[in-house]
Structure 1
Amino acid sequence: MSVSPVLRAAVRADVPGIAVLMRRSVLDVFPRFHDERATAAAARYLTEPDTVLIDDGTYFVHEADGQLVACGGWSKRDKLYTGSGATPSDDRVLDPATEPARVRAMFVRGDWTRRGLGRAILARCEQAARAEGFRALVLMATLPGVPLYRSFGFRELSRIDVPLPNGIVLDGVSMEYPLSRRQPGDPAPAR
């Protein structure tokens, strides 16, 4: 019998497990979309846990039987994705009235895909960002994540080359999700 995963906020003690999960996810899922060199580069450069997200309380994990099987979160800071290189504005807190929150570092272990774990994390991100006053979410998707984000309601803004430090370039998709949509139970707009 399979254990149902539990979604919870990540804590600092999860960092080693998150790193293992991220790498395993890339090695399991990326080969369906990328060649061996691109997969190896992604496993090296896109799988560094961002402890700022954990410290901010905006990063989540799904845990099943003591193992992390999915992770992801959102950020109220300027950094868009791991592997983008450090910039002076990475830690700048975004203005929710004028800037979108960022969905960050979404990974699901290959043997746990297509079970709603990524969708549950996105729903938690949406709820939390909306509660903080943000009007939209944005993200930089790698190709394995695009189907999930589209099915959740994100729309493609543009295709972007994502250069990694070793010169490999991944295909990326800049995507946006408006948070202005009515929620179940919200009153109908006045006419």
Structure 2
Amino acid sequence: MPDVRVREATPEDADAIADVHAAAVRELGGSDYDDRQVLAWLANVHPERYPIDEADAGIRVVVAERGDRLAGFGWLDCDPSGRDESTAEIVAVFVRPDAVREGIGRAILERLERLARDAGLEAIVLVASKHAIDFYRRQGYEDDETVELEMTDDVSLAGLRMRKRLSPS
């Protein structure tokens, strides 16, 4: 994948990140969730949502570029509330629908895992949407528990909490 570059996100990336996120939810989420769930999920997708300037708070957002186009993004929280101090949380990994199964998601995930290891963390947790469960399993994540993610007061999405122990660098 020599034509894909993963880098730290900048504030200028926010609109493109939201576009990738929305496209992935619309095209990939629709196969596993009903229209009402997809619309509720999309209501949470907007450029102001991504904490690009919060690296000091332990949050890292990265983007993957292919040529001059953003192909995906990832969001890591190295200090999530409610977790033990040795565990990071992947909040999101999304890839543009026309770029799936080309190693972009794996490249983003590997960067997030490296950032967590560099921060001295020992494990990563995440909640996978139904569509992404097999992807994370192939990357070494293990099933933990089924969860419901509330999108709105009356709409939730089924997901799977997963975990991976990080090997030392």
What's the TM-score, normalizing by structure 2? 0.87
CA displacement 1:68-121 (0-9 Å, x = unmatched): 111113111326xxxxxxxxx8xxxx76xx441011221111111011111111
Is the radius of gyration larger for structure 1 or structure 2?
1
Shift >6 Å, 4+ stretches: none
1:141 aligns with 2:128: yes
CA displacement 1:10-47 (0-9 Å, x = unmatched): 111101111111111111111111111111211222x2
> Corresponding residue for 2:115?
128
Hey, what's the Cα distance between the residues in 2 that align with 1:182 and 1:105? 23
Hey, what's the Cα distance between the residues in 2 that align with 1:75 and 1:152? 19
Cα pair distance change 1:53/1:154, threshold 3 Å: farther
Deviation at 1:167, TM superposition (A): 1.2
CA displacement 1:129-160 (0-9 Å, x = unmatched): 11111010011111122111111001010001
Deviation at 1:53, TM superposition (A): 4.5
Map 1:1-191 to 2 at 5 A: 4-45=3-44, 47-49=45-47, 50-56=49-55, 58-78=60-80, 98-179=85-166, 181=167
In structure 1, give the amino acid aligned to 2:102: R
**Percent of counterpart pairs with the same letter?**
27
- For structure 2, the 5+ residue unaligned runs are none
Alpha-carbon RMSD: 2.1
What's the TM-score, normalizing by structure 1? 0.77
- On the 8 A contact 1:73/1:121 being kept in 2, the answer is no
Q: Secondary structure at the match of 1:52?
A: coil
- For structure 1, the 5+ residue unaligned runs are 80-88, 184-191
How many residues end up aligned between the 2 structures? Answer: 164
- On the 8 A contact 1:73/1:122 being kept in 2, the answer is no
More strand by share: 2
Deviation at 1:65, TM superposition (A): 3.3
